[in-house]
Amino acid sequence: MAWSGTTAARGVAGALAARGLELAAGLASLLAPRACVTCRRPLPPGGPARHEAWASALCPGCRGRLGPIDGACLGCGAPRGPHAAPSRRCAACRGVPLGGVARTTALWRYRGVARRLLHAVKYEGREDLCPPLGLALAAHLAALDPTWASTPDLLVVPVPVHRWRRIARGYDQGAALAAGVAEGLGRPLVAALERHRTTPPLHGVDRDARDEVVAGAFRCAAPGAVRGRPVLLVDDIRTSGATLRAAARALRRAGVRRIEAGVLAR
Ligand SMILES: [Zn+2]
Ligand SMILES: [Zn+2]
C-alpha cells in the first residue's frame, strides 16, 4: 500500500509540475509583448472577433493602411483605374488570354502592409493567420457578388504547394486559406489539385515565360468530385496569373464547368 501510495503521490506531483510548466508557458506567451508583423510596434492587448483575427497581427496604424480593392478588373483583379468602364479589363491585362479563369477577385494590392502580412504567412510560420484571412476574402467575395454564397454546387479548391515545400514549411498556406474561404461562403472545400512538379519561384522568371514554367505542374487528383461543377480557385497571391492558368487547365481537363479565382493580393 505504502508503495502504491508513494507512486500515486509521485504521479500527482509530476502531473502538477507538468501542468505548472504549461501554465507558466501560457502566461509567458500572454505577457510577452506581441508585435505588429509589419512595423514591429508592440500590439495592444485583447483580440478581435475570429473573422477579423488576421488583423490581430497588425497594429491599428498598419491595419488602417489596408483597404480592399475597389472597382477591380475582372480579368486580373487589379484596380481598373477611375475612368475605365466596368465591362473593360485593365490596361495591363487587356489582350492577355484568361486561360480558363473567367474572373479573378483580389482583396488587396500586393504592397506595403499586405505584402508584409503575406510574407509572415508564407515564410514566418504564421499559419494561424490563414483561416481568418480566408474568412476575410470570403466576406469580400460575397460583398462584391452575393451569388458566391448562394451557388449551390460551387466547390472551393485550393491551389496547392508542392509536397516538398509543404514539408519544409510545415503547412500549405493555400489550403489553410481556402479552408477559411470555404467556411466563410458555406461551400465545400475539395483539395482536388495536386502539384506534381516543383517549379522555380516565378519572381525571377520573365513574365512571358511564366506560363511555360508552370505548364503541366498541376493535375486533378479527384476528377469525379469536380466534374460538371463550378469552382472557386483560391491562392494567396496572383502576380502574372500563370499559376492560376496552369491550375485552371488541370481542372478544365477534369471537366470543371466554370472557374473563377479568389486571391488575397495581386
Ligand atoms: Zn504596425
Ligand atoms: Zn486586368
Per-residue pLDDT of the chain (266 residues; tens, 9 = 90+): 344 444 445 554 555 555 554 555 444 444 445 788 888 888 776 666 666 777 778 888 898 888 888 888 888 999 887 766 766 788 888 888 888 999 999 999 999 999 999 999 999 999 999 999 999 999 999 998 888 878 889 999 999 998 888 888 899 999 999 999 999 999 999 999 999 877 777 677 777 778 887 888 999 999 999 999 999 999 999 988 999 999 999 999 999 999 999 999 99
Which class is 63-265 in CATH? alpha beta
Q: Which three-class secondary structure state does DSSP give residue 230?
A: strand
Q: What is the pLDDT of residue 155?
A: 97
Q: Give the containing element (helix H, strand E) for 252.
A: helix 242-253
- Beta carbons of 187 and 229 less than 8 angstroms apart: no
Q: What is the pLDDT of residue 19?
A: 55
- Ligand of minimum distance to the alpha carbon of 43: 1
Q: What is the pLDDT of residue 35?
A: 82
**Which residues are within 8 A (CB) of 59 and not within 5 positions of it... i.e. 6 or more apart?**
36, 38, 39, 41, 42, 43, 44
- Ligand of minimum distance to the alpha carbon of 96: 2
- Ramachandran angles phi, psi of 35, nearest 5°: -120, 150
- Beta carbons of 227 and 155 less than 8 angstroms apart: no
pTM of the model: 0.80
Q: What is the pLDDT of residue 14?
A: 55
Chain position carrying cell 493535375: 219
Q: What is the pLDDT of residue 2?
A: 41
Q: What is the pLDDT of residue 86?
A: 64
- Ligand of minimum distance to the alpha carbon of 238: 2
- Beta carbons of 57 and 132 less than 8 angstroms apart: no
**Which residues are within 8 A (CB) of 172 and not within 5 positions of it... i.e. 6 or more apart?**
158, 160, 161, 165, 166
Beta strands of the chain (E only): which ranges?
A: 103-108, 155-158, 193-195, 218-220, 230-237, 258-265
Which residues, in sequence order, are bridge partners of residue 203? none
Ligand 2 ion: residues within 5 Å (CB)? 73, 75-76, 78, 89-90, 93
- Ramachandran angles phi, psi of 21, nearest 5°: -65, -40
- Ligand of minimum distance to the alpha carbon of 39: 1
What is the CA(202)–ligand 1 centre distance, in A?
A: 28
Q: What is the pLDDT of residue 202?
A: 67
Other beta carbons within 10 angstroms of residue 76's beta carbon come to 26
Q: What is the pLDDT of residue 252?
A: 96
What is the CA(157)–ligand 1 centre distance, in A?
A: 32
- Ligand of minimum distance to the alpha carbon of 65: 1
- Beta carbons of 211 and 205 less than 8 angstroms apart: no
What is the CA(252)–ligand 2 centre distance, in A?
A: 22
Q: What is the pLDDT of residue 15?
A: 53
Q: What is the pLDDT of residue 260?
A: 96
Q: What is the pLDDT of residue 13?
A: 54
- Ligand of minimum distance to the alpha carbon of 41: 1
